[in-house]
Structure 1
């Protein structure tokens, strides 16, 4: 395994590196698809020892690797984890989980609410095994409430939260957001919740259950659209396309260039004046219909037409360079190939070329979390199903080779 890595931010040149903040913390990661595994990934890259526990056939996202584009997402979310299989539908498998819990600090899962309880290894049962355990649970709608047991995936939560109703163009049907934002917002909030509980445990000595509902994690992101909804007296706002969700900023849109598109936003008068200077249209600043943000919003179609006529005369990258020189907030609309090759993210080590044992040479992400004084961990690509089962169950729990063989023959691993 080789990686192209960038060093973490040191406190001072030549200073010995500090341990990562979660060094010594043991996490049992029963997460699946995106929500739980991303939380586990953040924990692993912050220094925790993360033991990924899958059923013998592998978790759902790993199985997607046999069709379509499932293999790379699994690799992106499961670096730096030890891979263990455990059949929790067997009493022996549940017994081994309890043994792992005795030595663990955190267990995280995002099964449907009640799944772990039905298996006899939910929070209340595991708290009896280890009172210091932080049990982190992610779900679509939470552990309580009338919608608790409704099936929830990123798509359905996007529909339920209103994300789809505000995405797209006014004259077309609702559209899902491209990224799996509900899963990942839920995963980030789950990380925050369990880290808060770990901090509390340091003061009290007691673990606790923390939970995050994707629906609740997403709601604050609707703020611009909700602002428009409230200001219109409760009327349902139309989809605003690439314009501001609250129709409260102008210019704010995606504009054509001779070979692509560019996103431009002007927040306040300084940006607007800078854009006019770049356009060579400083005289427009004196026109009443463009004099204030409110007036520009009231004349949004005209503003967008003026900006579009200007941008269409440039190539995307040349216009980007020009606007950046004038300090106008803008960015080229890039495709995924350009994003994967982003020189800035590679320079920071946020993206790294990795020799993956199954996928070959691919780009994988590092954690967005940076810790001053600690060197970033090199990316250790995910292993095959159950790669570390014998090492964890034998070396860590102390099971003999004969016991491991017998358990495997009975379908426990």
Structure 2
């Protein structure tokens, strides 16, 4: 079966999460991804826990299916080798601070002169221009700066960050989407493009309706916990041994909930007769629902919700998700054979295709694992020249 990005070569000149996340999506879709790291330490994500056999499992997840080379870009020959790689590649993804690629002599205008069909994607905290563009950034920094933290948490508590690296991973999605769109455009124009992906811009996009809530009404959205204030019920509810999330958008789901609770008359109660009434009387309705749910186990509440088609779900922990039969049925458990670590079970691709092969393409590379392959097979150097380069320090 063919792969969506078969025949596309991607240079991954990134570190940590957002950049490697972008390129592993491309690798899963069949692109040949070559990870370029600095000699010695390489990507600092190689040190991120958890570990198995001394190998970072998180690094393996984000760098699966890639080839790995090292280049010393403070060495002129190392820069020359990078440019040779650009000449035979389709995509370059980098995530250095704005200006670094220019100082290395590897800015888009220079590289476009080498390969006019190159799609170059620069991922940074605040973008390539603007008053904050010079600042460093991490996921939590952007959650704070973009307003996401101000809307996350409970009204009487402090701002909270998301429990996952939501900005990093969302930025990876945006970057991978932009790269694929640019490759599609190249098929029509014959020309590459330069893509400026800012984590700050992505964080603002993740504000969704909260952004226009302010621009339209002047209201500054605050923290509402797990409740969505414009729909009732829309919240978490305590059970005897955990929590469930229940959402009733519209009258039909609410009537179903009332039947599941054994309280069909509640749908006719003046306090709860429609959405606006329920919103106005949310505390009373939550008390009624939680009086019911807290007397049952999470499993019992979830069974009734499914039986009566009440939208929602139990609040599962990571163990429950990994062990859930639906997770396995969807192909989300993939055993990766990682040298030095053995088998690491990672998550599979979220994208499934009927006519294309989308899957992890193998383990993450060791540091500099493919240096000789790069010189001899990709660039066509003879063995003696490859030996000279490897001994020169250009690749560490």
Which category describes the TM-score, using the shorter chain as reference length? over 0.9
Provide the residue aligned with 1:334 in structure 2: 316
1:216 pairs with 2:201: yes
Partner Cα separation in structure 2 for residue 351 and residue 67 of structure 1: 18
Per the alignment, in what secondary structure is the counterpart of residue 310 of structure 1?
A: helix
> CA–CA distance in 1 between the matches of 2:359 and 2:218?
49
User: Does the Cα contact within 8 Å between 1:22 and 1:48 map onto a contact in 2?
Assistant: yes
Alignment equivalent of 2:11, drawn from 28, 38, 53: 28
Say whether the 8 Å CA contact 1:98–1:129 is kept in structure 2: yes
CA distance in 2 between partners of 1:67 and 1:151 (Å) = 27
Structure 1 CA distance for aligned equivalents of residues 59 and 319 of structure 2: 19
1:104 to 89, 94, 116: 89
Looking at structure 2, the residues matched to 65 and 400 of structure 1 have their Cα atoms a distance apart, in angstroms, of 40
Residues 61 and 70 of structure 1 are in contact (CA less than 8 Å); yes or no, is this contact kept in structure 2?
Answer: no
Distance 1:379 1:312, change over 3 A: farther
Deviation, structure 1 residue 113: 1.2
- 1:238-249 to structure 2, matched below 5 A, reads 238-244=222-228, 247-249=229-231
Residue 300 (structure 2) pairs with residue 318 (structure 1) = yes
CA shift for structure 1 position 319: 1.3
Deviations 1:170-211 (A, max 9, x none): 111111111111111111111111111111111111111011
Partner of 1:51: 34
TM-score (norm 1): 0.90
Deviations 1:52-90 (A, max 9, x none): 111112112113359899922211111111111112221
- Please, what TM-score do these two structures have when normalized by structure 2? 0.94
| Corresponding residue number in structure 2 for 1:8 | none
User: Which residue is 1:195 aligned to?
Assistant: 180
Q: Is the 8 A contact 1:193 1:211 kept in 2?
A: no
Aligned mate of 1:353, from 335, 354, 361: 335
Stretches of structure 2 lacking an aligned partner (at least 5 in a row): none
User: What's 1:13 paired with?
Assistant: none
Which residue number corresponds to residue 278 of structure 2?
A: 296
Q: Is 1:152–2:137 an aligned residue pair?
A: yes
Match of 1:255 among 232, 237, 247: 237
Aligned to 1:62: 46
Is this contact kept in 2: 1:35–1:183, CA < 8 A? yes
| Distance of 2:360 and 2:163 partners within structure 1 | 29
CA gap 1:38/1:301 in 2 versus in 1, 3 angstroms: same
Describe the shift of the 1:70–1:213 C-alpha distance in structure 2 as closer, same or farther (beyond 3 A). farther
Work out the CA distance in 1 between the residues paired with 2:180 and 2:337. Answer: 31
* Deviation for aligned residue 1:343: 2.1
State the Cα distance separating 1:378 from its structure 2 match. 5.1
The correspondence for 2:75, drawn from 79, 84, 90, is 90
Q: 1:390 to 1:183 in 2, by over 3 A?
A: same
**Cα deviations by residue, 1:6-47 (Å, 9 ceiling, x for unpaired):** xxxxxxxxxxx3x11110011111121111111101111111
Q: Against the structure 1 CA distance between its residues 202 and 402, is the aligned structure 2 distance closer, same or farther, given a 3 Å change threshold?
A: same
**Contact kept? 1:111, 1:139, Cα under 8 Å:** yes
Q: From 42, 58, 66, give the equivalent of 2:25.
A: 42
Alignment-derived partner of residue 412 in structure 1: 394
Q: Which 4+ residue blocks in structure 1 deviate beyond 6 angstroms? A: 66-70
* Per-residue deviation, residues 352-389 of structure 1 (Å, max 9, x unmatched): 13332233332212221222212344541112111112
Give 1:229 deviation, angstroms.
Answer: 4.3
Q: Does the CA-based 8 Å contact 2:55-2:340 persist in structure 1?
A: no
Kept in 2: contact 1:65–1:71 (CA 8 A): yes
Q: Which runs of 5+ in 1 are unaligned?
A: 1-16
Distance 2:298 2:118 in 1: 53
- Partners of 2:219 and 2:344 lie apart in 1 by 47
The answer to whether the aligner puts 1:392 opposite 2:377 as a matched pair is: no
Paired with 1:379 and 1:66, the residues of 2 have a C-alpha distance of 22
Q: Given that residues 5 and 29 in structure 2 are in contact (C-alpha distance below 8 angstroms), is that contact kept between their aligned partners in structure 1?
A: yes
SS of the residue corresponding to residue 208 of structure 2 reads helix
Secondary structure at the aligned position of 2:69 is classed as strand
1:216 is displaced (CA, Å) by: 1.4
Q: SS where residue 376 of structure 2 aligns?
A: helix
Provide the aligned C-alpha RMSD in A: 1.9
Match of 1:132 in 2: 117
- Output the CA distance in 1 between the equivalents of 2:360 and 2:226: 38
Q: After the TM superposition, which of the residue ranges 172-181 and 221-230 deviates more from structure 2?
A: 221-230
**Preserved CA contact (<8 Å) 1:323 1:329:** yes
